[in-house]
Amino acid sequence: MKTSVREIESSAVNAATVKNAKDLVDKNKFSGLNISADNSLIWGQCAGSGAEPYRCSVDFIDENKPVFRCNCPARQFPCKHGIGLLYAFEKGLPFACAEIPGDIANKRAKIEKRTEKKEQEQSKIIEQDAKNNKPKNTKIIVKKAETQLAGIEAAQKLLHNIVQMGFSGIDAATQRTLDGRIKELGNYHIEGIQLAFNNLLVELSYVKGDEYTDVINRLNYISALLKKSREYITAKKENPESDPDLTSAIEEQTGRVWKLADLMQYGLYETNAEIIQLSFNSYDDAGRKAFIDEGYWFNLKTGKIYKSRNYRPYKALGYIKEANTCFDILKIPRLFIYPGNVNPRARWESAVFRTVTGKDRTRVIDASSPDYSETVKTMKSVIKNPLMEKNPVVLLKLNKACIAGEHIVLEDTHGNKLTVADLPEQQIYTETNLKLVLPGECGNIALAAMINNNLKTGIFSVTALSLITVDKIIRLLY
C-alpha cells in the first residue's frame, strides 16, 4: 500500500474534509490502529460525538481504487474519518499487524464476486460487438421515440411563444411561467433540450441594455437542435433496429445518458490508453444547476484531445468528490469515449499514475499544428454548425510571439498570425499570465488554446490554456 499527501487529498470530496481529517489526527482521535499482513488494509477507531467510537477502514485490495468504510452517519463519502485514517498512516502513527476482520473479509468476497460478474458482462458485450449482434427491444424504442417527438412539438411551441412575445416582454411573472413549461419538458425524455431552454433563460437574465447577441445564439442553437432531433428521432422510430449516430453528440444533446455498457457495445473505448492533462477548470453552469469540473487531456497514443467532465449539482455539493488538476500521466485499462467531434468527452473507471517525462511532453509538442491557417479553416468549418462545440481546444506550435497593442500575437512559420485574447464569457483570463512566462525564443514549444470566434467583435482569436515545453507544462488557468 502506497499513500502520499497528494493521493490522500485527491480522495477527499472537498477541502473541508481534508481539514477536518487532519484535525482528527492532530487531536489524537484515532485508536486501535491495525494493518493487514499484506499491507492491503488499514482499520481503526475514531472518537466522535457518540458514546462509541466510529469504526473505519481503507481497503487497498485494488491499489487504484481504495474502498473506504465507516459506520458514522455522514452522507459524505469518503468521510473525514476514512481520510483521517489515511493521514494517520501517512504520518507514521503505529499500526499493529492483525488478521483481517471477518466482516471486511465477507465484504471483500462480495466485491470480488461483483467485479467478476461485471468483467463477464463486459466480455459478453465485447463478444456481441465482434459478432455484430446487438439485440434491441424495438417496441420500447418506438414508444420512447413517440414520446420524444411529442416533447419536441411541445418544445417547438414554447420556442415560438418566446420569440413571439419578444425578449423585452419577458418579465419576472412570465419567466416563472416559462420555468414551469420548461420543467414539463422533462416528462418527454428530452432532458438535453430542456437544458437548452434553461440556458436560454439564464442568458436572458444576464442581458444588459439591448445586447441580445448571446441570447440569439441560444435561440439559434435550440432551433437547430429541435430540427435535427426531430429528423433523427423520426428516423429512429421508422427504423428501430438502426444503430445510434456515433459521429456526433446528437444522442446526448437530445437527452440520452450514455452508460459505459452502451459505449462498450458500440466499440467506443480504447484499451491501455495513456493520457496527460493539458488544462483544468471548474465553473458554474447555472442552466444545469451544477458546478462542472472540466479537464482537457491529450491521448499519447492517438494524438487526440478529449475532455472530461465531473458534474456536481448544487443540491449535492457536499457529497460528490470535486475533481482537480492532475500533473501525472494516467495509464487507463479502458478509456471510454463518447460520440462527439473535435474534443469528445472521455471517461474511465480506474487509472494508474506515472510521472510525466520529457518524451511525453515532446509527443504533445510534435502533435501541435504548425500551420495556423489550416487550423483556423478546420475550426471555422466546425463551429459554423450551431450544434457543434463553440470553443474547441487545439494545440498550436509556437514559432514567433510578440505583443501588439494589448494582445499577444502568434505567428507560424508561414507568416500566418493569430491573436491571443481572454474569454470573458467563460471567465477565462489567462493572457496576463502568458505574457509573464512566454519566452523570447519559441522553438519547440506548443500552446494548448481554446478557439473563440467572437460574433460581437468579429475577431477570431485563441485563449491560452497552457504552455508546453520539453521540460514542463505551465498551466495558465489552474
With 70 as the cut, is the pLDDT of residue 378 above it?
yes
Binning pLDDT at 50, 70 and 90, where does residue 134 land?
low
**Is the fold of 258-356 the same as that of 367-475?**
yes
Q: For residues 478 and 470, what is the distance between their CA atoms, to the nearest angstrom?
A: 20
Q: For residues 298 and 160, what is the distance between their CA atoms, to the nearest angstrom?
A: 42
Q: For residues 351 and 335, what is the distance between their CA atoms, to the nearest angstrom?
A: 9
Mean pLDDT of 280-285: 92
pLDDT number for residue 296:
97
Mean pLDDT of 15-34: 92
With 70 as the cut, is the pLDDT of residue 127 above it?
no
Which three three-digit cell numbers place residue 202?
A: 439564464
Q: Where do runs of H (alpha helix) occur along 239-313?
A: 250-254, 260-265
Mean pLDDT of 82-92: 91
Note the pLDDT tens digit of each residue in 178-189. Answer: 999 999 999 999
Q: For residues 351 and 331, what is the distance between their CA atoms, to the nearest angstrom?
A: 5
Which three three-digit cell numbers place residue 122?
A: 463486459
Q: For residues 345 and 309, what is the distance between their CA atoms, to the nearest angstrom?
A: 7
With 80 as the cut, is the pLDDT of residue 240 above it?
yes
Q: For residues 55 and 242, what is the distance between their CA atoms, to the nearest angstrom?
A: 52
With 70 as the cut, is the pLDDT of residue 126 above it?
no
Mean pLDDT of 293-320: 92
Binning pLDDT at 50, 70 and 90, where does residue 322 land?
confident
Q: Residue 36: is it exposed, middle or buried by C-beta count within 10 angstroms (0-12/13-18/19+)? A: buried
Higher pLDDT, residue 438 or 394: 394
Please state, as a whole number, how many other Cβ atoms lie within 10 Å of the Cβ of residue 362: 15
User: 258-356: which CATH topology?
Assistant: OB fold (Dihydrolipoamide Acetyltransferase, E2P) (2.40.50)
Name the CATH superfamily, with its identifier, for domain 367-475: Bacterial OB-fold (2.40.50.200)
pLDDT number for residue 133:
54
pLDDT number for residue 374:
94
Q: Where are the domains of the chain?
A: 5-100, 138-238, 258-356, 367-475
Note the pLDDT tens digit of each residue in 249-267. Answer: 999 999 999 998 889 889 9
Contacts of 166 (CB under 8 A, 6+ apart): none
Query: In whole numbers, what is the pLDDT of the chain averaged over residues?
Result: 89
Contacts of 297 (CB under 8 A, 6+ apart): 275, 276, 277, 278, 305, 306, 307, 308, 330, 346
Looking up cell 504533445 gives: 364
- Nearest C-alpha neighbor of 312 from the set 287, 336, 288: 288
pLDDT number for residue 419:
92
